[in-house]
Amino acid sequence: IGSTKTKLHPVQERMAKSHGSQCGFCTPGIVMSMYTLLRNTPHPKMDDLDKTFQGNLCRCTGYRPIIEGFKTFTEDWEVMRSANENGICAMGDNCCKLSTKRSSTIDTNTLIPANEFTPYDSSQEPIFPPELLVYDILDKQSLVFKNDTVTWFRPNTLEDLLTLKSKQPKAKIVMGNTEIGVEIKYKHQYYPIRIHASQIPELSTVSTVDAGIRFGSAVTLTKVANVLKNQIKAKPKSHTRIFAALLDMIHWFAGQQIRNVASIGGNIVTGSPISDLNPIFIASEAVLEIGSVRGIRRIVMDENFYLAYRTTVLREDEVVISLTVPYSKQNQFFCAYKQARRRDDDTAIVNFAINVTFEENTKMIQAFKVAFGGMGATVQVPLKTCKVMLGRSWNQNTLNMALDSLIEGLPLSPNAPGGMIQYRRSLSLSFMFKAYLEIMNNLNGELNARELSAIEPYQFKVPKSSQMFHILPSSMKTCAVGKPIPHLSAIKQSTGEAVYCDDMPEFKNELHMGLVLSSKAHATFKMDPSDALKLDGVHLFLSAEDISPENNCKLGFQSDIVVFVEKTVTSQGQILGAIVAESQSLAQKAARMVKVTYTELQPVIVTIEDAIKYNSFFTNIVNPSVIEAGNVDKAFTGASHVIEGECRSGAQEHFYLEPQSTIAVPKEDNELEIFCATQCPLFTAV
């Protein structure tokens, strides 16, 4: 969309001048997300901006300068700018611009003056190539692609798809590739037969039927959301309560980029126990249309649909054709909630859906169903709770009975996958309590302010930030400190022209290294690389035995890190050895084939409690960092009350967007030219 060699696009310019990049690895993706938003919505609102960047991760800037720069494209910012140009200031007569005595610092809400930005004109954007819009010849054909390891089918009729599935029942159907792609790349699954079903009309259509809305299984979640919005606007609220809950949950499902390609059917068949949508489908008793060469059958999504972890009642040769989400009734209420570690683009810890139907003009429960994700290997429906609620009035006593029943009906063993046992059990009860309040409020609106606070929906707030900086004397023409000057790589990062290790063309005869990492915290080990070395294209296996002790040097600030561990590992993830091969994927595959036999040692110290238990303390501190104010012992002695307990800070999972990587190029006189992506150049030089 722009280049340092030609002209910057306004999106690229504002990203750079607003200091929105640091390492720059995420910058091209963020630029293209903003560009896409402007092409689809030339005058976006801040809410649109919020949704657009749900799927973009940045690990450097903290998003503030990115949002500060890009909000200048929004209607909200234009309104604010116009107001400021008209002389309106919240400080009135105390406005700093009217004062003759200005302080040495200024509180500003702008990173740079807006008049430095190139104006954006959507009419100047290039049009989408017309030939691509009308060129649908290949879309009308069934296609097959093959290589040495995978066969990829792209049928264009339902009959062809069902025939393929009957002949290849183990084949994986691919829609958005959002699940299978992860399984292949990170879980190292192998699917030799894949079927892409995006061009089949029956799987891609949406229709209104008497019972509700029928979605083809290949319909994307973005399209589902748009259809739900239109239905909610067009029909009475009492008919669309299930739609409203589903629409709200879709907003928190992954990010906008994923929702644009992820299909509703793929979410169902994947069978994740923490799926955001499946509890809603089960609680609402959505109807699935299933097809095979034997014919079509319809089944209700209920507690019997998932047999085990990621296993459904579908036969191997069957395909989900459609899903019908039902209308709600006048006396029917539906709620759905999700709790994750962060709001956007995160998997659920626990999620929940509840479907309650009352006898007409009463609070007597006629039908009741709840479904929980994250409380077992499949979506859990506590049938005893559903049964005990029937015929009872919707009141506090009934709520207490439901909570007691859920405690019994949703047990989690202490070693349940996912951990956080007590928190997850607490969440299941909290969701039931929240649903009780929300439904009670809809029934008669008799909640007090304290109770209402528990059901207030999350409201998006426009980000607002300020910055204090010193005013520099005008005579200091050459000083960069205190001036909003973009760093030297900002423009190249915004245009995508900054070169990272993975962008560099491959050298002739280039070899790649895959690391063999420890999977134990404290153990001795032996390695057998023989199976890995049998693979074509694998050249070498390296370990501590292959390099001299002086070259297996100790690194780190404490000089306690070696290149290859020699005998004993003291943490998971230490480097035991390395495979050298002709491609990165081959090197990594071969590294996983190296057999490592461990003899575990004691003690294994992986927590603070373990360290205290085994008296393992770090004592070799040359300059200890201690914060001390006053006499702590004296303060405790003279205190009226002493409160004892524990306070635990949560751990963080740190990851780089660009992995640490290095390219070493042999030169003359035994020299090496090294290109290294690292946040610690000191030890690279060493």
CATH number for position 224: 3.30.465.10
- pLDDT (mean) for 660-673: 91
CATH code assigned at 618? 3.90.1170.50
Let me know whether 517 and 588 are in one domain: yes
For residue 91, pLDDT over 70 is answered with no
User: 37 vs 136, which has greater pLDDT?
Assistant: 37
- pLDDT (mean) for 222-233: 97
Q: Which of 103, 125, 147 is the last residue of a domain?
A: 125
Q: Measured between alpha carbons, how far is 276 from 118 in angstroms, rounded to an integer?
A: 42
* Residue where the block lists tokens 């962008």: 503
> Is-contact 332 295, C-beta < 8 A?
no
- pLDDT (mean) for 444-468: 84
Q: How far is CA 15 from the centre of its chain?
A: 23
Let me know whether 115 and 44 are in one domain: yes
For residue 667, pLDDT over 70 is answered with yes
Let me know whether 209 and 177 are in one domain: no
Other beta carbons within 10 angstroms of residue 228's beta carbon come to 22
* Amino acid letter for position 448: N
Residue 361 is assigned to a structural domain of this protein: yes
Beta strands 348-358 and 295-300 are: unpaired
Tokens of 299: 């089944």
| DSSP helix/strand/coil, 648 | coil
Q: Which of 412, 428, 453 is the last residue of a domain?
A: 453
Residue 472 is assigned to a structural domain of this protein: no
CATH code assigned at 98? 1.10.150.120
pLDDT of the residue at 146: 95
Tokens of 94: 């105390």
| DSSP helix/strand/coil, 470 | strand
Let me know whether 177 and 209 are in one domain: no
pLDDT-derived band of residue 661, with 50, 70 and 90 as boundaries?
confident
pLDDT-derived band of residue 550, with 50, 70 and 90 as boundaries?
confident
For residue 113, pLDDT over 80 is answered with no
Q: Measured between alpha carbons, how far is 281 from 371 in angstroms, rounded to an integer?
A: 9
Residue 131 is assigned to a structural domain of this protein: no
Q: What is the CA radius of gyration of the chain?
A: 30
**pLDDT > 90: what percent of the chain?**
66
pTM above 0.85, yes or no: yes
Q: What is the DSSP letter of 263?
A: B
Let me know whether 171 and 210 are in one domain: no
For residue 110, pLDDT over 60 is answered with no
For residue 96, pLDDT over 70 is answered with no
For residue 305, pLDDT over 70 is answered with yes
Residue 478 is assigned to a structural domain of this protein: no
For residue 103, pLDDT over 70 is answered with no
Q: Measured between alpha carbons, how far is 663 from 506 in angstroms, rounded to an integer?
A: 10
Q: Measured between alpha carbons, how far is 420 from 157 in angstroms, rounded to an integer?
A: 46
For residue 482, pLDDT over 80 is answered with no
Residue 377 is assigned to a structural domain of this protein: yes
> Is-contact 543 555, C-beta < 8 A?
no
Let me know whether 303 and 332 are in one domain: yes
pLDDT digits (tens, 9 = 90+) for 29-46: 999 999 999 999 999 999
pLDDT of the residue at 493: 95
User: 471 vs 404, which has greater pLDDT?
Assistant: 404
Tokens of 143: 């296609």
Residue 479 is assigned to a structural domain of this protein: no
- pLDDT (mean) for 210-232: 97
Let me know whether 358 and 246 are in one domain: yes
Q: Measured between alpha carbons, how far is 211 from 298 in angstroms, rounded to an integer?
A: 14
* Residue where the block lists tokens 């009872």: 392
Let me know whether 176 and 211 are in one domain: no
Task: List, in order, residues 6 or more apart from 74 with CB less than 8 Å away.
Answer: 43, 44, 45, 46, 48, 49
pLDDT of the residue at 515: 96
User: 446 vs 297, which has greater pLDDT?
Assistant: 297
In angstroms, the Cα distances linking 18 to 75, 111, 352, 499 are 19, 6, 41, 21
Let me know whether 30 and 47 are in one domain: yes
pLDDT of the residue at 278: 98
Q: Encode 44-65: b = buried (16+ Cβ within 10 Å), e = exposed.
A: bebebbbbbbbbbebeebeeeb
For residue 546, pLDDT over 80 is answered with yes
Q: Which of 171, 196, 221 is the last residue of a domain?
A: 196
pLDDT of the residue at 471: 61
pLDDT of the residue at 107: 45
- pLDDT (mean) for 156-174: 96
Q: Measured between alpha carbons, how far is 278 from 173 in angstroms, rounded to an integer?
A: 19
User: 560 vs 591, which has greater pLDDT?
Assistant: 591
pLDDT of the residue at 469: 67
Closest CA to 202 of 169, 164, 162: 162
Number of domains in the chain: 4
For residue 657, pLDDT over 80 is answered with no
Question: Domain span at residue 101?
Answer: 10-125
Q: How high is the mean pLDDT of the chain?
A: 89
Residue 482 is assigned to a structural domain of this protein: no
Residue 85 is assigned to a structural domain of this protein: yes
For residue 174, pLDDT over 50 is answered with yes
pLDDT of the residue at 57: 86
Let me know whether 73 and 220 are in one domain: no
Task: List, in order, residues 6 or more apart from 297 with CB less than 8 Å away.
Answer: 289, 290
Span of 5-14, 261-270, 405-414, 653-662 with lowest mean pLDDT: 653-662
pLDDT of the residue at 458: 85
Span of 82-86, 331-335, 561-565, 659-663 with lowest mean pLDDT: 82-86
Let me know whether 242 and 183 are in one domain: no
Closest CA to 71 of 463, 373, 385, 377: 463
DSSP character string of 163-206: HHHHH-TTPEEESS-TTHHHHHHHS----SEEEE-TT-HHHH-E
pLDDT of the residue at 423: 95
The dihedrals phi and psi of 348, each to the nearest 5 degrees, come to -75, 150
Q: Measured between alpha carbons, how far is 286 from 277 in angstroms, rounded to an integer?
A: 11
Q: Measured between alpha carbons, how far is 588 from 580 in angstroms, rounded to an integer?
A: 9
Let me know whether 614 and 552 are in one domain: yes
